[in-house]
Amino acid sequence: MSATRLRTLVLLAAGVTAVTWWVMRMVVGRGAAIPPDVPRLVVAVELVIAGVVLAMGWAVRQYQRGKHPTLDPVRAARTAVLAKASCYTGALLTGWYGGQALSLLTDADVPGNPTRATAAGIAVLGAVALAVVGLVVEHWCRIPPPGADEPTLAGASEPDPSAG
């Protein structure tokens, strides 16, 4: 599995923002109602998921530093996959709520839109936090390349360099 690139996430978020803004402008232009406020629960869920991913990643990091004696390889792999999913989910949600915020701010003179835009902006911050945590945990889950100086884990024996 290759590392997620920040550029990919930024482009994804920007693309989803543009599409969301365009769709909302089209829908509102045709007289349809704008979406309701973003529930506060959205931000709470984003932050809880980020916290869970961070806790799981911390266990992997501690193992790689030799501070945690055992770690199930399947758990480490699942943590890496969850971190990658968090990166992309955070980028998609950033775009979704960012597009809503932009659309609402372009009609800021409509009563209620500034409040809705603020709620969407706060959801954007939670989504960015989710993506950043995903990137950090994905970095923690990297395995050193073969032959690199790997930290010696507690209880592991060093190979004898003179043995041939």
Predicted confidence (pLDDT) per residue in 94-113, tens digit: 999 999 999 999 887 778 88
Predicted confidence (pLDDT) per residue in 111-130, tens digit: 888 899 999 999 999 999 99
Total residue length of the chain: 164
The band of 150, judged by pLDDT with boundaries at 50, 70 and 90, is low
- Please say whether the beta carbons of 76 and 60 come within 8 A: yes
Considering the chain, what percentage of its residues have pLDDT values greater than 70?
88
Predicted confidence (pLDDT) per residue in 66-102, tens digit: 887 888 889 989 999 999 999 999 999 999 999 999 9
- Please say whether the beta carbons of 76 and 143 come within 8 A: no
The band of 157, judged by pLDDT with boundaries at 50, 70 and 90, is very low
pLDDT of res. 147: 66
